[in-house]
A and B are shown apart, each in its own frame.
Chain A
Amino acid sequence: MLLDSLSSGFDLFFTPLTIGLTFSGLLFGLFVGALPGLGPLMGIILMLPVAIGQQPIAAMGFLIAIFVGGSCGGSISAILLRIPGTPLAAATLFDGYPMAQKGRAADAIGIAITASSLGGLFGGIVLIFLAPLLARFASGFAPPEYTMLAITGLTAIVVISGGSLIKGLLAGCFGLLLATIGTDEFSTGYRFTFGTHHMLNGFHIVAVVVGLFAISEMAFQIMRKDLTTKPNIPMVRANFGAIVLTLKHWVNLLRSSAIGAFFGSLPGAGGVISSFTAYAAAKAASHPDEGYGEGAEGGVVATESANNATVGGTLVPSLALGIPGDASSAVLIGALLILGIFPGPTLFEQQPEIAGGVFLVYLASNVFLLFAGILTTPIFVYVLRLRKSHLIPAVLLLCAIGTFALQASIFDLWVMLTFGLIGILFRAANYPLAPVVIGTILGPLLENNYRRSLLISREGHWIFLDRPVSATLITINVLLIAGAIWFAIRQRKKTAATKEP
């Protein structure tokens, strides 16, 4: 099954368009990753309208390469400016910046790129072996299992990603309600369409995502005071000697990549948790002479290999079950759905060439990262000199044209702006945005399977407890929520105790 899907994916992958778009996506990913305030999610969102006009594997190659490049690009600004380009690179500055201070900026960037690439390839191997196994296990799932799987996916993301449980669940409910807008698949009745033909298919997911994330992010970015300042950064040129430097830490590299792939495959955990955990593990296992926190090469290897291995791990539940591991993979699933491909066990059974093609573009992105990343370092160092004041209008223009291009509709632009305002409000009140998107993606899966479960059930909702996998998932959900409540109460008591004189 594994070799079949890979070999059938070769034909789809080896086309000039797919290879060209994967390479372009990687460079764009490095660009958005390097610029503080953007990052892989923003890059994927901005290029989503461009991607969905292409052939499926070329489109996925473009978007996955942005994810891969964006996850690595943040290390460049972390090392040179002490400002992580993305939260994923926050742990990289512990040792990356001190290395730059010691005059080893080129080595630090070279190690970061090499470790990212090798960590990403490790994540790719995990993806190639684990996703078909998980899909095979899930192939026996019926509507009750899918219902509970969708609920577990949403709950896990809310609970594991931290923040307020109530706010996260509310945001998730908002996403689920958004997914109900339009024509009902069962009764063919219209729900929340207010008599307008624009809403017969609901809001376009891209307009919603661009508004929530990109517009609200730009509104917050424009509040910064350093918009017109141009950072003075010396030119840095990484070289392939960094590969040797990285491979000297091969145990650390393997351990951190395994940590990254593991956390990636857990919905909600993501690259930030994996990179900090990998850093802590590397530091604990290191010799005191290595000087972690003072410019240790091992620190950069650990964090960068972990956060790129997370990408491969994140794609495991996304492809095998259709359950996104984080906001970026939720958007990738949204793109697949728009392209007419339904992630889940049936993807591996009915369209193995698509699954194989996705595996290949992911592996290719990481190989391109190693070579293109090192060769193009000076360009991305130059990118860091861009003024924010010039970047904001460019991002907004891309948002506008991209969203208009979806359906040649100005209505979509108003949807985007409205969701931009909702995004600003949510951010100001500390409501997470990722559950909204994940709820919107999982909504149809949840509702359709919930109603199908009730249709086949003779005992109403008891069907969810009658089936072992479904009952296990209910137990996991209860434990997750109970654990989160217990943790919140303990935190509140701790805070109250520290405030008392």
Chain B
Amino acid sequence: MTKKHAEYLVIIFFLMVIGIVFQQIATSMTEQGIASGTPYDNAAAYPRAVAILAGALLFVAGLNTWRERKIPTPLSISQMRRPAGLIAIFSIYLLGLGTLGYHLSTTPMLMSLLWVAGYTRLVWALIYSVCLSFGAAFLFEVFLNIVLPGGFLRLNIAW
């Protein structure tokens, strides 16, 4: 992957954002009657103006990217394995957080992240993950009165 690829991806992302702005103005905002009228009633004029400005800037950015020579970026496929692993582990964690709860899902998530980061001493990784997970839960639940997700077992520690 080169910097140019990343720039094209950002351009596609901005095209999607601008597309959503116009799609929502044409549908949802028109249906609500907030896409026209005085500055008081017209809630669409400002996002439309910003989207048009973004579109003009995007055109220039696209031209610049197209004219730019291919510049290698520090991101190679092999280097991207670790960040991809981090995002994957975190996504799985979020998927399971509601069902499994904080205490059942956090320690495996932390251990997996340690493994992805290259730390392979299993016992120490387990001890570190358990201490970190319960230590953070203690701080947030006791000092900030936060109730962390209990999951299907309703696992909440009464500290």
A-side residues, CB < 8 A to B, are 50, 53, 164, 166-167, 169-170, 173-174, 176-177, 180, 184, 186-187, 189-193, 215, 218-220, 222-223, 227-228, 387-390, 392-394, 396-398, 400-401, 404-405, 408, 410, 413-414, 417, 420-422, 424-426, 428-431, 447, 450-452, 454-455
Say whether A396 contacts B132, CB under 8 Å.
Answer: no
Say whether A393 contacts B144, CB under 8 Å.
Answer: no
Say whether B147 contacts A223, CB under 8 Å.
Answer: no
Question: Nearest Cβ distance between residue B43 and chain A, in whole angstroms?
Answer: 4
In the complex, residue of chain B having the shortest beta-carbon distance to the beta carbon of A388: B117
| Residues in A whose Cβ lies below 8 Å from that of B74 | 223
- How far is A499 from B74 in the complex, measured between Cα atoms in Å? 22
Say whether B136 contacts A397, CB under 8 Å.
Answer: yes
Say whether B132 contacts A394, CB under 8 Å.
Answer: yes
Say whether A408 contacts B146, CB under 8 Å.
Answer: yes
| Residues in B whose Cβ lies below 8 Å from that of A392 | 86, 113, 117
Indicate whether A187 sits within 8 Å of B119 (C-beta atoms), given known contacts A173-B50, A429-B6. no
- How far is A176 from B7 in the complex, measured between Cα atoms in Å? 21
- How far is A222 from B98 in the complex, measured between Cα atoms in Å? 27
Indicate whether A413 sits within 8 Å of B94 (C-beta atoms), given known contacts A187-B43, A393-B132. yes
**Known A187-B32, A187-B42, A408-B146; 6 more pairs at CB < 8 Å:** A177-B51, A190-B28, A192-B47, A215-B90, A219-B86, A430-B7
28 A/B residue pairs, CB under 8 Å, sorted by A: A53-B144, A173-B50, A173-B51, A191-B24, A191-B47, A219-B86, A222-B83, A223-B74, A223-B83, A227-B118, A392-B86, A393-B132, A396-B113, A397-B106, A397-B133, A398-B136, A401-B136, A401-B146, A404-B146, A410-B98, A410-B149, A417-B91, A417-B94, A428-B73, A429-B3, A429-B9, A451-B46, A452-B39
Question: Nearest Cβ distance between residue B47 and chain A, in whole angstroms?
Answer: 5
- How far is A167 from B17 in the complex, measured between Cα atoms in Å? 15
Contact for B82 among A222, A413, A430, CB less than 8 A:
A222
| Residues in A whose Cβ lies below 8 Å from that of B17 | 174, 177
Interfacial residues of chain B within 54-103, with CB under 8 A of chain A in the complex: 54, 57-58, 60-61, 64, 73-75, 79-80, 82-83, 85-87, 90-91, 93-94, 97-98
Indicate whether A223 sits within 8 Å of B47 (C-beta atoms), given known contacts A394-B132, A396-B113, A404-B146. no
Indicate whether A170 sits within 8 Å of B20 (C-beta atoms), given known contacts A405-B144, A425-B6. no
| Residues in A whose Cβ lies below 8 Å from that of B28 | 190-191, 193
- How far is A350 from B154 in the complex, measured between Cα atoms in Å? 46
Say whether A170 contacts B57, CB under 8 Å.
Answer: yes
In the complex, residue of chain B having the shortest beta-carbon distance to the beta carbon of A405: B146
| Residues in B whose Cβ lies below 8 Å from that of A174 | 14, 17, 54
| Residues in A whose Cβ lies below 8 Å from that of B133 | 397
